[in-house]
Amino acid sequence: MLTISAIDAVFAIAIGFTISNVFKPGEHMLGVVGTPLSQEKKWDWNKGLSGYIPESVLGPFVTNSVPALIVLAVVLGLAFRSLEREGIREESTFFNQLRGWAQLAVRLNIRIIEWIVRLVPFAVFAAVAKVVGEHGTLLLRGLAAYLIATIGGMAIQIMVVYQLWIKVVARRGLIPFWREAREPAVYSFGVNSSLATLPLTLRALDRLRISPSSARLSACVGTNLNNDGILLYEVVAALFVAQANGVSLSLWQQFGVALVSVVATIGVAGIPEAGIISLFLVLNTLGLPAESLPILLTVDWIVARCRSITNVVSDMTVAIGIEHFTHPLKGPSDAN
């Protein structure tokens, strides 16, 4: 599973890099989303990666470093769980009080986020109205280039990479595959979630004669790694934002983009708009301006659904690959 997922991820990154470097879709937005960055402001991804490590408990809150906040939250959570297993919870009244304060803080934070989410459409409208008022139809041309780059890259990933796995490696017929994959793919487009599509994905794999062990390993466990749609999207979007801000990235720096995107993609939730959240982490880590996100949100309705389709087909492809190497079918009917 790890090998197949890694190969698919490499292809997704390669497709994203090729499209972004050949067609340079972000250049259509140069000067539209913000002032081009000067040479001195170009980011250093080595320095950006160090931002994952918090220097102090309060440091991430002061610098607004989201990756460092995540690392700090995970470390503190693991520490609390360790103390709880040792019986500190029953012995210490202060521990129980601290746990209650933390739960209250989470509930308050969720309530504030709910208010912010309700205001997001108005913020996006204001941001787009400002750009359209200043630059006219240049915004539409840039968004069209962005859509073609992201959706086109996902289409290549599905129609070339995945179909090669199915037809050439697993020696299965493409018509039977798409006959069964059609339902989960369409459903994932409608609900914009690969996680919500999981029951349909498992049923489709069962009809394709994939063993339950292979299907569950890929669709239930491996889905945390089979996020090729989000990975390809993040690579293209990150390079798009860099190009739109006049940042020219070397091959080594683009490798940094791929590395950060992989880290942000692993374990991302299979919920609607999860990709835009991980993209913010990527841009924040790399030091690229996140002010472009409201503009990209205007077309993320269609991009997000294409990401979900890609992730679902990826889960099914990995399951077929696992099945081929662990329980190979025999007989001439396999390629029908």
Closest by CA position to 261, among listed 293, 292, 296, 237:
237
CA 28 to chain centre: 24
pTM of the model: 0.78
Place of tokens 């490696």: 169
For residues 44 and 246, the model is more confident at 246
In the CATH scheme, what architecture does the domain 2-52+135-335 have?
Orthogonal Bundle (1.10)
Is the pLDDT assigned to residue 165 strictly greater than 80? Answer: yes
Residue 310 has a pLDDT of: 94
Is the pLDDT assigned to residue 249 strictly greater than 80? Answer: yes
CB 211 within 8 A of CB 323: yes
Closest by CA position to 16, among listed 315, 249, 320, 272:
249
> In whole numbers, what is the pLDDT of the chain averaged over residues?
82
Residue 140 has a pLDDT of: 84
**Which of 77-81, 217-221, 239-243, 330-334 is least confident?**
330-334
Is the pLDDT assigned to residue 83 strictly greater than 80? Answer: no
Mean pLDDT calculated for residue range 115-134:
79
Closest by CA position to 67, among listed 89, 50, 91:
50
Mean pLDDT calculated for residue range 175-195:
92
User: Left (φ > 0), alpha (ψ -120 to 50) or beta: where does 210 sit?
Assistant: beta
116/127 Cα distance (integer angstroms): 15
Residue 37 has a pLDDT of: 52
Is the pLDDT assigned to residue 127 strictly greater than 70? Answer: yes
Q: What is the pLDDT of residues 16-66, one digit of tens each?
A: 999 999 999 988 887 676 555 544 445 555 555 565 677 777 777 666 666
Give the pLDDT band (50/70/90) at residue 159: very high
Residue 335 has a pLDDT of: 46
Mean pLDDT calculated for residue range 117-138:
77
Q: What is the pLDDT of residues 261-304, one digit of tens each?
A: 887 787 666 566 667 777 887 887 777 777 778 888 888 889 99
Residue 333 has a pLDDT of: 44
Q: pLDDT over 90 for what percent of the chain?
A: 38
Is the pLDDT assigned to residue 101 strictly greater than 70? Answer: yes
For residues 14 and 259, the model is more confident at 14
Q: What is the pLDDT of residues 220-234, one digit of tens each?
A: 888 778 889 989 999
Mean pLDDT calculated for residue range 159-175:
94
Residue 66 has a pLDDT of: 65
For residues 43 and 3, the model is more confident at 3
